[in-house]
Amino acid sequence: MGKGGKSEGGEEENMAAWLVAINTLKIQPFNLPPLGPHDVKVRMKAVGICGSDVHYLKTLRCADFIVKEPMVIGHECAGVIEEVGSEVKDLVVGDRVALEPGISCWRCTHCKQGRYNLCPDMKFFATPPVHGSLANQVVHPADLCFKLPDNVSLEEGAMCEPLSVGVHACRRAEIGPETNVLVMGAGPIGLVTMLAARAFGAPRIVIVDVEDSRLAVAKELGADEIIKVSTNIQDVEEEVGLIQKAMGGGVDVSFDCAGFNKTMTTALTATRPGGKVCLVGMGHHEMTVPLTPAAAREVDVVGIFRYKNTWPLCLEFLRSGKIDVKPLITHRYGFSQKEVEEAFETSARGGNAIKVMFNL
């Protein structure tokens, strides 16, 4: 039905991409909840595919989240306000907005302490059992919809979600103008982390990956040095030497954007005494890594989970030109059954696909 079918009453029927079984997505009707006083109805215009979306499609699970019944997919999104609730003051019909996908409870200890990303009752787009945003329309709290600056496109607005991961990681690792950064992994999250680190002032960034094509993109986006590495853990010592030589000094902060035994071992070993390692990627549920030697060098290890209060800064980085995410959008598709299937196949293949984007 592409852009949405017609109901019997002649009104447009809201359609969405439903994950109904392993490797099976179907565009079907999606009934929206009533518009609350503090909600807005948004017509989706740009929705990106995330690695977690692909995990759900291929296995019906991502980490400890399991899809047990049909679910609307998608959470990287931006659109145009079509209706506002009675108490909404800061948005009007026609505003272009980027949506933060997680709704926290605002009552638990984590929320009250400002770390709402750790809320145990978080309702997050396309995280079971909560439906996502790859649909013609969604209803969402107005305070989680951020107006786009005039010079920021809807596609860039949708990119605020992955960019937020990099921004949150940089805040956790306290990146600044005196911080030399190593990034393990040049996939989409590694690349946005690199861009965020530069925007936070990191003077030198070295990025490593196993694929030449990804490293070439990282170099084009501004990495100071790129290093091709192997998947063999026996190569860690030699590769750490290459990393430290390329850095030309100590590695102050390492971001592991892959989350494997090998990448975390490399990050811990390459980071200078007193430095930090930030675990961003979650490739392995459990890892065996040399923590004791790292602890003896007082290397701090911090983790991240999603993000908090990042959209305003992301939009300012995009508005000011400090970060350009446009080169990351490599493939675009419309919203039809065939194109949805093709888009997810493209994203799952990887290769030269960095960010696959739907234009609705």
Per-residue model confidence as pLDDT tens digits over 173-185: 999 999 999 999 9
Say if 19 falls within a structural domain.
yes
Which residue reads 């909404």 in tokens? 88
Q: What confidence tens digit (pLDDT) does each residue in 189-212 have?
A: 999 999 999 999 999 999 999 999
Nearest to 238 by CA among 280, 212, 278, 208: 208
- The CA-atom distances, in angstroms, between 315 and each of 138, 167, 168, 252, 294 are 21, 11, 14, 27, 36
- 331 and 212 in a single domain? The answer is no
The pTM score is: 0.94
pLDDT level of residue 1 (50, 70, 90 thresholds): very low
Task: Name which of 4-18, 101-115, 254-268 the model is least confident about.
Answer: 4-18
Q: Is 178 exposed, middle or buried (0-12, 13-18, 19+ CB in 10 A)?
A: exposed
Amino acid at 105: C
Domain of residue 107, residue span:
15-147+325-359
Residue 245 shares a structural domain with residue 333: no
pLDDT of 9 higher than 70: no
Residue 4 lies in a domain: no
Task: Read off the pLDDT band of 2 (50, 70, 90).
Answer: very low
Please report whether residue 153 resides in a domain.
Answer: no
Judgement on whether residues 55 and 137 belong to the same structural domain of the protein: yes
pLDDT of 7 strictly over 50: no
Indicate whether 244 and 332 sit together in one domain: no
Q: Report the pLDDT value the prediction gives residue 238, as an integer from 0 to 100.
A: 97
Question: Which residue is it, tokens 């501004």?
Answer: 222
Q: How many domains does the structure of the chain reveal?
A: 2
d(CA 45, CA 192): 22
Mark whether 276 and 232 lie in a shared domain: yes
Same domain, 137 and 49: yes
Query: Domain for residue 123, yes or no?
Result: yes
CATH value at residue 103 = 3.90.180.10
pLDDT digits (tens, 9 = 90+) for 222-244: 999 999 999 999 999 999 999 99
Do 143 and 86 lie in one domain? The reply is yes
pLDDT score, position 357: 98
> What residues have CB less than 8 Å from 133, skipping those under 6 apart?
44, 47, 72, 74, 75, 77, 99, 101, 125, 126
| Bridge partner residues of 39 (DSSP) | 141
Kindly state whether residue 142 falls inside one of the protein's structural domains.
yes
Q: pLDDT tens across 42-97, in order?
A: 999 999 999 999 999 999 998 789 999 999 999 999 999 999 999 999 999 999 99
Q: Are 356 and 330 in contact (CB under 8 A)?
A: yes
Say which amino acid occupies 341: E
Q: Please, which pLDDT band fits residue 11 given cuts at 50, 70 and 90?
A: low
pLDDT tens digits, 279-326: 999 888 889 999 999 999 999 999 999 999 999 999 999 999 999 999
In this structure, the number of other CB atoms found within 10 A of the CB of residue 283 comes to 15
CATH number of the domain at 222, please: 3.40.50.720
